[in-house]
Amino acid sequence: MKRIVSIWILLMSLTMTCQTKNSPEKETLVPEFSKILDSLKVKGAVLIYDFSKKTYYSNDFSWAKKGNIPASTFKIPNSIIALETGVIKNDSAIFKWNGEQRWNKKWEQDLTFKEAFQFSCVPCYQEVARKIGVERMKTYLKKINYKEMIFDSSTIDNFWLEGESKITQTQQIQFLKRFYFSELPISKRTESIVKNILLIEKTDAYTLSGKTGLSVKNEWYNGWFVGYFEAKNKVYFFATNLEPIKKEAYNDEFLSARIMATKTAFKTLKNLK
């Protein structure tokens, strides 16, 4: 009798687990997010996924489902692949500055792997992509299910900055979710190193991890901020994609708007719940 009860409990537990994993994800429109973007003089979408509630929150789901070039958010899979292939040996790897003038003064120095990631050093990661090469890049992108990257030998070092590669905000979150929950076919060592370089802020109340991105096409700038937010034993994933309302509006305020909009959206969402 005890054995039958134990089997029944086990079956019920497995059933509930399957139901939780397969429970449909919901979408909730949050008009307040649009007000945040308006106040920052930008347009676009903030997309937040509450893992515990299996719910997406956004001001514009159509925008969140259209693809944009990943820009420097691609440094996340690029870092993973670099570590998995051995192009980057460990987290103490150094990128040597060749003395040439660079777009960002922070790049004009020797940089550690973490600094190159957090300073978003384009030349550093172009070097990484060239060393990985076309075939290995394609193999690993398929392996980690990072789709719609279009490149060949002539574009291996810039396909995430210009060209036809694209990713949606929903896809960004799905990828980050698989990464966060150790569902990617990569080593624990790689996962640990990349989680460390993703870390932006850690306080007693929360931990923020993520990566920004910036691209320009036909003089229109497009900005990203993607990552995850941990607080009170819960995790939220986010992908914010913005553009200036006017072409000439690109400035430092636009750059800061990516993170500002995301943080303000989290505060708004907390107050709405």
In whole angstroms, how far apart are CA 255 and each of 67, 70, 77, 241, 242? Answer: 20, 16, 22, 11, 10
> Which residues are CB-neighbours of 113 under 8 A, at least 6 positions away?
79, 88, 90, 91, 92, 93, 94, 95, 193, 197
Residue 72 annotated in active site: yes
Residue 224: other Cβ atoms inside 10 A:
27
Per annotation, catalytic residue among 34, 39, 72, 165: 72
Where do the DSSP E strands lie in the chain? 26-29, 42-50, 55-58, 94-95, 111-112, 199-202, 207-217, 220-231, 234-244
> Under a CB-based contact definition with an 8 Å cutoff, are residues 43 and 243 in contact?
yes
Residues taking part in catalysis: 72
